[in-house]
Structure 1
Amino acid sequence: MTAADAYIELVRRSKELGVINSCAGVLSWDHQTYMPPKGGALRGEQMAFLASLAHQKFTDPKVGELLAAVESSDLVRDPEADAAANARELRRAYDRATKIPQALVEELARVTTEAQQVWEQAKKKNDYASFRPLLEQVVKLKRQEADAVGFKEHPYNALIEEYEPGTTVAELKTLFAGLTAELSPLVKKIVAASKQPDKGVLEREFPVDRQKVFAEAAAVAIGFDFGAGRLDTTAHPFCSGFGPGDCRITTRYNPRFFNEAFFGVLHETGHAMYEQGLPAEHFGTPLGVACSFGIHESQSRLWENQVGRGRPFWEHFFPRLRQTFPAALADVSLDTFYFAINEVKPSLIRVEADEATYNLHIALRFELELALLSGDLTTADLPGAWAERFEALFGLKIPDDARGCLQDIHWSFGGIGYFPTYTLGNLYAAQLMDAARRELGSALGDDFRRGEFGRLKGWLGTHIHRHGQRFRAGELCRRATGAPLSAKPFLSYLSEKFGTLYGVC
């Protein structure tokens, strides 16, 4: 077999796996949206079967032989060529997958499917005790995964690699320490400022049916293709990209709080437009997959915050919002509304947190995940540890576990190592937006005031979406912005925005 033939076969197998994983994705989406409650046990078996099938096919020794043939050929001479990028990322994934036992893959799929269902009910009933046994199993299985994969210094390094290749615990500790040192004083200044927004204008009656229509219209305006996607309701908002032509987002509605659903939709739409912008011809291969979870998160945070919480955006949308909710907003000015949606205030819930405090929520979860994985913290002590550390960071007492350690879905699906990518996404988003503004100039803000977002979407498509995994996250950032990832653009953005709003900087 020639190297060219080996590459063709490697791509064929990769695309086949892409279809299998897409099927699993549909079942997972259904699990969190429309599946009847009694379907959990069967769904667990279905997910375990598909995970096992995908693992068997990918860890077939033939895949290793095909990779070796491609890697030793001229096909990879240019590191940016399709074959070189696909081979590099398939090698990384193959080497990881072949270290994980088949039985562990199946058990993780089975346990996490059950855990998600139990978590949803536990959160509704504020019943951590019912979820704890499943969480204990998840942590145990993720420790086994880390041991199987291998790691240096901390088992967390083996798990973060799945979401953000190349990132380490040491780097993240330094990052979070630096951010906390910068953000805590800023938040204290803002909270103590004499000028404060009237958040009450967002806590009026906003009928859910109208919220849905308005949110969908905004999603279309910024670039979401509803011909290739849909919007549904679930307990925890998420985005599922199954492949070309099918990307689905979810949100949750609160009839007494405008922000919850609307900014959730903008966030998930950012994710979805990345998925819809990936090259369809490369579906099933690394070139048709998002670069990293941090880069993925940058797209959602960019549209939710950098755009959606910006004044130019609302200079266009606020008149339409008042028409949609005349009873709630008849006496509200644009200035009042804009200040309200940008309120900075320590709060209990991560997904409702403002831009200045959000990363403190992630720092908390990162600390607790490290302790859980190393064994320094038991699942029995998790609620107490959460409450203690939360009060130290935010000055707030946790009223119940539903608004404490049960608020996020991530641990139930085994996503230990996922949370830091949210903070990385915030940093990437600020740096990307800064670069886009430098290149596109003042015309960008003028676009937003007219309700036109195609220029920004096109810039992101050119610099981020179309590349898939051709470059690792750090290199993609450098190419798009001209500099390695830095917290400076993000911190400067916060200081300028909130300094002006609150008159503190």
Structure 2
Amino acid sequence: MTAAESYSELLRRSKALGVLNSCAAALGWDHQTYMPAKGAALRGEQMALLAALSHQKLTDPKNGELLAAVEGTDLVTDPESDAGANVREWRRGYDRATKIPQALVEELARVTTQAQQVWEQAKKKNDYASFRPLLEQVVKLKRDEAAAVGFNDHPYNALIEEYEPGTTVAELKVLFAGLTAELAPLVKKIVAAPKQPDKGVLERDFPIDRQKMFAEAAAAAIGFDFAGGRLDTTAHPFCSGFGPGDCRITTRYNPKFFNEAFFGVLHETGHAMYEQNLPAKHFGTPLGVACSFGIHESQSRLWENQVGRGRPFWEHFFPRLKQTFPAAFADVAPESFYFAVNEVKPSLIRVEADEATYNLHIALRFELELALLSGDLKPADLPGAWNDRFEALFGLRVPDDARGCLQDIHWSFGGIGYFPTYTLGNLYAAQLMDAVRREFGPALDDDFRRGDFSRLKGWLNQNVYAHGQRFRAGELCRRATGAPLSPKPFLSYLNEKFGALYGVC
């Protein structure tokens, strides 16, 4: 078999695996949306079976033979060519997967499916004790995974590699220490500022059917294709891309608070537009997969915050908002609304956090994950450790576990190592948007005032979406923005925006 024939066979196998994984994604979406509670046990077995089949296909020794037949040939001389990028990522995935026993893959799928169901009820009932045994199992299994894969310095390095290849604990510690040192005094100045928004304008009566209508209209306006997607309700908002033509987003509605659903929809729409605009011809291969979780998160944060909390966006949408909720906003001026949706205030819930405090929430979770994985923190002691560290960071005492260590779904699905990608996403979003503004200048905000987001979406298509995994995240950032990732654009953005709003900095 020639190198070209071997590569063609790898493509065929990869695309078949992509279809299988999309089946698991569909069942995962159903699990979080419409599956009846009593279906959890069977769904766990279904997910375990699909995970086993996927693992078998991925670790088939024939794949190793085919990769060896292609590597070092003229097909992959250019590492940025289609074949070069695909083979590089296939090799990374194959080498990682072959180190993880199939029994561990099956058990992780089985336990995390059950854990998600238990977590949802535990959160509703503020009952950490019911979730703790499952969390103990998840932590043990993720330690087993890290040991199987192998790591340097800390087992966390093995897990974050799954989400953000090349990132290390040492780098993240420096990043979070620097951000915390910059953000804490900024937040303190803002909280102490005499000028403060009236958040009460967002805490009125907002009928859910009207919220859904307005959110769907905004999502469609910025670029979500509802012919290839849908919006549903769930306990914890997420985006699930099954493949070309089918991408689902979810949100949760609060009839007494506008922000929760609307900005959640913008956030998930940012994820969804990345999925919807990946090159369909490459589905099932690395070139049809998002670059990294951090780059993926950059798209949700860019559309939610950089665009959706900007003044030009609301110059277009606020009149429509008043038409949708005439009673709630009859006495609200545009500037008062804009100030309210950009309130900075330490709060308990990560997904409701403002731009200035959000990364402090991630720093907390990063610290606790490191301790859980190393064994320095036992799951039994998690609530107390969470509460103490939260109070140190935010100056707030956590009233209950539902608003503390139970608020996120991530640990129930085994996503240890996932949280830092949110902060990386914030940094990438700011740097990408800075590059867009340098290229288009004031014309960009003029577009937004007209409700036209095509120029921005076109730039993102060209510089982010179209590449899939052709480049690693750092290289993608450098090519798109002209510089390696830096926290400076993000910090400059925060200081400029909130300095003007609050009269500080």
TM-score (norm 2): 1.00
The residue correspondences of 1:156-195 to structure 2 (distance < 5 A) are 156-195=156-195
Alpha-carbon distance in 2 for matches of 1:335, 1:288: 42
For 1:275, the aligned partner's letter is: E
Q: What's the Cα RMSD here?
A: 0.3
Counterpart in 2 of 1:452? 452
Residue 440 (structure 1) shift: 1.4
1:214-271 per-position Cα deviation (integer Å, ceiling 9, x unaligned): 0000000000000000000000000000000000000000000000000000000000
CA distance in 1, matches of 2:313, 2:178: 31
Q: Secondary structure at the match of 2:162?
A: helix
Aligned partner of residue 241 in structure 2, secondary structure: strand
Q: State the match for 2:466 in structure 1.
A: 466
* Distance in 2 of aligned mates of 1:57 and 1:417: 25
Q: CA deviation at 1:29?
A: 0.2
| Cα-to-partner distance string for 1:127-156 (whole Å, 9 max, x where unaligned) | 000000000000000000000000000000
Letter in 1 for 2:73: S
Match runs of 1:295-310 below 5 Å:
295-310=295-310
2:336 match = 336
Deviations 1:311-362 (A, max 9, x none): 0000000000001001000000000000000000000000000000000000
Partner residue, 2:492: 492
Mapped to 2, the partners of 1:56 and 1:26 lie a distance apart of 20
Q: Distance in 1 between matches of 2:2 and 2:274?
A: 35
Task: Please name the residue that 1:236 is paired with.
Answer: 236
Counterpart CA distance in 1 for 2:441 and 2:68 is: 47
Unaligned runs of 5+ in 2: none
Tell me the SS of whatever aligns to 1:236: coil
CA distance in 2: counterparts of 1:468 and 1:51, whole angstroms: 23
- The whole-number CA distance in structure 2 between the counterparts of 1:474 and 1:70 is 26
Task: Please say if 1:60 is aligned against 2:60.
Answer: yes
**Residue 182 of structure 1 aligns to which amino acid in structure 2?**
E
Residue equivalent to 2:200: 200
Q: Give the alignment of 1:301-450 within 5 angstroms.
A: 301-450=301-450
**Separation of aligned partners in 2, 1:278 and 1:440:** 24
State how far apart, in whole Å, the 2-side matches of 1:379 and 1:136 are: 6
AA of the residue aligned to 1:374: S
Consecutive aligned runs of 4 or more in structure 1 exceeding 3 Å deviation: none
- Code of the residue aligned with 1:47 in structure 2: it is M
The equivalent residue for 1:3 is 3
The match for 1:117 is 117
Distance of 2:100 and 2:306 partners within structure 1: 40
Distance in 2, matches of 1:133 and 1:471, equals: 40
CA distance in 1 between partners of 2:453 and 2:299 (Å): 14
Distance 1:269 1:372 in 2: 32
For residue 290 of structure 1, what is the aligned residue in structure 2? Answer: 290
1:70 shift after superposition: 1.0
Q: Deviations over 1:62-81 (max 9, x none)?
A: 00011111112100001110
SS in 2 for 1:380: helix
Task: Quote the offset at 1:445 in angstroms.
Answer: 0.2
Distance in 2 between residues matched to 1:68 and 1:247, nearest whole Å: 35
CA–CA separation in structure 1 for the residues paired with 2:79 and 2:158: 25
AA paired with 1:321? L
- Provide the rounded CA distance (Å) in 1 between the counterparts of 2:209 and 2:142: 41
User: In structure 1, how many angstroms separate the alpha carbons of the residues matched to 2:71 and 2:230?
Assistant: 40
Gaps of 5+ in 1: none
**Structure 1: which amino acid aligns with 2:80?**
E
SS at match of 1:165: coil
CA distance in 1, matches of 2:85, 2:7: 12
**Separation in 2 of the partners of 1:140 and 1:400?**
25
AA in 2 matched with 1:239: C
Query: Quick one: which amino acid aligns to residue 229 of structure 1?
Result: G
Distance 1:494 1:440 in 2: 21
- 1:85 aligned partner: 85
Letter in 2 for 1:22: S
Cα distance in 2 for partners of 1:219, 1:504 equals 33
Counterpart AA for 1:299: Q
Q: CA deviation at 1:179?
A: 0.0
Could you say what secondary structure the match of 2:99 adopts? Answer: coil
Q: How many Å apart are 1:441 and its aligned residue?
A: 1.5
Using the alignment, how far apart are the partners of 1:446 and 1:94 within structure 2? 47
- CA distance in structure 2 between the aligned counterparts of 1:477 and 1:67, rounded to whole angstroms: 28
Q: Which residue of 2 aligns with 1:106?
A: 106
Question: C-alpha deviations, 1:177-210, integer Å up to 9, x for none?
Answer: 0000000000000000000000000000011000
> What is the CA–CA distance in structure 1 between the aligned matches of 2:24 and 2:40, rounded to whole Å?
14
Tell me the amino acid that sits aligned with residue 489 of structure 2: P
Distance 1:498 1:286 in 2: 39
Q: Which amino acid aligns with 2:431?
A: Q
Q: Distance in 2 between matches of 1:36 and 1:154?
A: 39
Q: Which residue of 2 aligns with 1:44?
A: 44
For 1:480 and 1:46, locate their aligned partners in 2 and report how far apart those are by CA, in whole Å.
41
Letter in 2 for 1:274: Y
Separation in structure 2 between the aligned mates of residue 90 and residue 182 of structure 1, nearest angstrom: 39
Question: Take 2:186 and 2:112, find their aligned partners in 1: how far apart are those partners?
Answer: 39
CA distance in 2, matches of 1:348, 1:72: 53
Counterpart CA distance in 1 for 2:89 and 2:398 is 42
Q: Which amino acid aligns with 1:272?
A: A
Amino acid at match of 1:420: P
SS in 1 for 2:379: coil
Q: Which residue of 2 aligns with 1:209?
A: 209
**How many residues in Structure 1 have an aligned counterpart in Structure 2?**
505
Counterpart of 1:154?
A: 154
The separation in 2 between residues aligned to 1:413 and 1:376, in whole angstroms, is 22
Q: C-alpha distance in 2, partners of 1:168/1:78?
A: 27
Q: Does 1:256 align with 2:256?
A: yes
Q: Which residue in the other structure is 2:275 paired with?
A: 275
**CA displacement 1:21-66 (0-9 Å, x = unmatched):** 0000000000000001100000000000000000001101100011
1:427 shift after superposition? 0.1
Q: Which residue of 2 aligns with 1:136?
A: 136
Query: In the alignment, which residue of structure 2 is the partner of 1:501?
Result: 501
**For 2:248, what is the secondary structure of its paired residue?**
strand
Please give the alpha-carbon distance, in whole angstroms, between the structure 2 residues aligned to 1:234 and 1:303.
Answer: 21
For the residue of structure 1 that corresponds to 2:290, the secondary structure is coil
d(CA) in 2 for partners of 1:153 and 1:315? 50
1:434 Cα shift?
A: 0.3
